[in-house]
Structure 1
Amino acid sequence: MIATTRIDESSLHYRGWRVVLACFLMAFFMFGFGLYGQGVYLAELQRAHGWPGTLVSAASTFSFLLTSVLVIFTDDLLARMGLRSLILCGLSALGASTVLLALMQTPWQLYLAYALMSIGWTGMGTVVIATLLNSWFERRRGLALSLAFNGATCGGIVLVPLLLSVSASIGFRSAMLVATLAMLVLVLPVVVIFIGWPAQMSPAAGGRFTADGQAARTSRRTLLSNPAFWTMVLPIAIALLAQMGFIIHQVTFLEPLIGRAAAGLAVTIMAAMAVVGRLSLGLLVDRLDPRLACAVSMTSQGAALFVLLQSTSPTVLLACCAIYGFSIGNMITFPPLIIQREIGFAAFAAAMGLGTSISGIISAFGPGIVGLVRSFTGSYTTAFALCVMLDLVAASVVLWRPGKRLEDSPTLSPSP
């Protein structure tokens, strides 16, 4: 049980909401620079240096894979460095990465920049945000996570267009330096002032203690042998694989049917609905079964894709993208809710790190699989039908409810 149980979490005076604001800003810049901004870097670096697209895109793949490895060790870093120090390290690494992207002259600097970005993900990404908010909220945990993770979507909606607009006015180099300065001015004070564990929380993110007074945490081996962990991780990873495949190929699929302008509008609608969906879920999810809500979200995405394949009507296609987008953001909100309920607090950071790593690696193949199937078949029909099947399989698996809470198990042991 977290330390905030007897506190009114609905009150705006509750300190946890200031922590949510800090997490929103962290997600805004981390996802804005680290995910959505990579399309901008690809175009601008090719234009500035004449580097082939394969070189830049390979650096992106390298960054995502390195991130998937580093997040496994988030619980160890939290225990050894402390929460605020880890976040400040991530902020510094992300700032160094964006400055280097602005000033780089040689390809090896690109890979260094993207390696620093991976360190930024470790210090400011979903695992740290979810672990932090999990410690501050119990009754309003779903709403807090939804509000904070909306910063990720807003980073794509706001930061990327701003980067493009400012780059057109003052150049890419100056735009990146200005955006980096804005990040430091906005994020650094709120991290220093607001970020911290609740007063009675263990600084090692554990909350349970062994006989010698050290925080008890859970070994990764114990997590990997826990069915509840796998019935959460695998369906989320499968659904994200299908989701990434559709998102990356969405414009290419829609443009021949409804034109470039309408295809761009479809992307905007989908992103806007992701914000609406996450806020809607946040208001209700604390009263819902997170596994059932997750299965409904996966099924709705599969249904939207199925209808999208049957129609050429612009109205229907845009409506399908809106329905699909409603559940996009929630795929990173459900795992922490399921983990806290079924795996427990002592294992939370370790489970989030492992789960994020596994999901990240598996979902990274989504765009490639969709593209490969399209190349073999000559159209997106079979590729997106595969995505529909994956969504339905994921929805079925996530409804399986094995075992008792890992936290209730006597197998708790220090994490290796």
Structure 2
Amino acid sequence: MSNKLKFQKYLVLMACFLIMSVSFSIVNNITSLFLDPVTKHLGLSISSFSLIFTIGAVTTALMSPITGHLVSKVPLKLLMAIGSILAGGGFFCYALAKTIWMFYLIAIIVGIGISCLTTIPIATALTSWFEDRKGFALGIAMAGAGTGSFVWMQVVSRMLNHLTYQTTYALLGGIILIVCLPLSLLVMALPPDATIESKKKEKLSFNDIHWSTQLILFSLGLFLLGMSVSGTKMHIQPYLTSLHHPLSFNANVGSTQAIFALIGSLVGGIVFDKLGLRTSIASFVSMALIGYLCLIFGFYPSLLFIFAALFGLCLCLPSLLPSYGTSALFGKDHYSMHLGFINMIFTLGSALGPVISGFIADHLTYRLVWVIYFIITTLYLILFLLAFKKKKPQN
């Protein structure tokens, strides 16, 4: 690889980090801060507002196979530029929403944008540029989500203290556009050889997917993982509010989680490369189980910070496992097509989680939510261990 291409691949890595830290973090990790002010201002229930996340997630899920195809057919910078406009412009439009149906419609637009801008394009680009160190590269990029969560959790909580939620939505949408659109147009690209090969091989056909027991087990595990993680992340802040903790305390818990999510993303890719999938998964899921026990007894403030640290570390699983696991199971053969399908299943699980959490919280208690997710976490650990029982990661 020439020096020019070496420079370009690290420039792409930096751009992926920044895009994840801005667009992905704002859209997926900060939404819970808006739950309380928006529901109170518009007189909505927790579950109805939580459905916004679900609609966005379902949209992203349904878009995933299409995005997996488009990555191989459309110039990456064009696809991601369109995603930047839809995600940033859509998020800006939340400021104009007056009814819950307007929020739902905008969530669809934002979901399409995020699908074209983040997970699949970024994973495809990095696995093409960093074939021998994909765990490291994916970890760095996904660490952007943790970095952004830490920063935006503090910034947005303060913005909501001094500004209306409408102004906050507008400012954040503008930031997504200003940062992500230039990076998409000026930096993002696939390696020349990868672009040529993908145009030769990739087709939008489920016949190209290698169906197997391992694929089914892996997909079911990801479905449950997405359900538990999204259902937890979306409702941590409302849960802390229900325990009558002040907003500053809640923001500190959120920032603690974000710091450890950053550490987990950086370390997680290296751990995956060095220890293998089964050992890595077992280690991180054990942390999640302990974290849920701490959350169940969240009336002790110190336990909430232990939860935030452990849960933050294991957030490398939803960040890395879909893309890394897809590569481990199938290598580079129709990678974006497989990732599109697997990410669709994962995202559908992510869409269901907040609805379950909101429904139980509205009618029963948050503590029951955490007990259910403890059980679900145990189930997906078993599914992942079975899926990779006889499979060694491919390069």
TM-score range, shorter chain: 0.7 to 0.9
Change (3 A) 1:12 1:268: farther
Residue type matched to 2:64 in 1? Answer: V
Please give the alpha-carbon distance, in whole angstroms, between the structure 1 residues aligned to 2:89 and 2:242.
40
Structure 2: distance between partners of 1:144 and 1:313: 38
Deviations 1:59-106 (A, max 9, x none): 443222222111121122223322111111101112321332234556
1:244-283 to structure 2, matched below 5 A, reads 244-251=230-237, 259-260=245-246, 262-283=249-270
Picking from 361, 381, 393, the partner of 2:348 is 361
Give, in angstroms, the shift of residue 293 of structure 1.
0.8
Residue 191 in structure 1 maps to residue 194 in structure 2:
no
Contact 2:227 2:353 in 1 (8 A): yes
Pair 1:300-2:293 in alignment: no
| In 2: Cα distance, 1:52 partner to 1:90 partner | 29
Q: Which runs of 5+ in 2 are unaligned?
A: none
Contact 1:69 1:357 survives alignment (8 Å):
yes
In structure 2, distance between residues paired with 1:295 and 1:145:
20
Give the structure 1 partner of residue 70 of structure 2. Answer: 77
**Aligned equivalents of 2:137, 2:350: Cα separation in 1:** 25
In structure 2, do the counterparts of structure 1 residues 291 and 232 end up closer, same or farther at CA, with 3 Å as the change threshold? farther
Asked if residue 101 in structure 1 is aligned to residue 94 in structure 2, the reply is yes
Give 1 or 2 for the bigger CA radius of gyration: 1
Are residues 288 and 101 of structure 1, via their aligned partners in 2, closer, same or farther at CA, if it must alter by over 3 Å?
same
Report the CA distance shift for 1:191/1:203 in structure 2 as closer, same or farther (over 3 A). farther
Alignment check: 8 A CA contact 1:229 1:343 kept: no
Aligned residue for 1:74, secondary structure, equals helix
| Residue identity matched to 1:125 | T
Match of 1:385 in 2: 371
CA distance in 2, matches of 1:335, 1:43: 31
Q: TM-score, normalised by structure 1?
A: 0.80
8 Å CA contact retained: 2:33, 2:237: no
Which deviates the most, 370-379 or 300-309? 370-379
Provide the secondary structure at the position in 2 that maps to 1:201. helix
Give the corresponding residue for 1:352. Answer: 339
Is the Cα–Cα contact under 8 Å of residues 228 and 403 in structure 1 kept in the other structure? no
Question: Does the CA-based 8 Å contact 1:145-1:333 persist in structure 2?
Answer: yes
Instruction: Provide the residue aligned with 1:150 in structure 2.
Output: 143
Following superposition, the deviation at residue 120 of structure 1 comes to 0.7
> Could you tell me the TM-score, scaled by structure 2's length?
0.83
Give me the identity figure in percent: 20
Which deviates the most, 120-129 or 359-368? 359-368
Q: How many residues align?
A: 392
1:136 corresponds, among 112, 129, 133, to 129
CA distance in 1, matches of 2:92, 2:243: 40
Paired with 1:113 and 1:46, the residues of 2 have a C-alpha distance of: 17
Once the two structures are TM-superposed, the CA of residue 55 in structure 1 deviates from its matched residue by 5.7
**How many angstroms does 1:42 deviate by?**
4.7
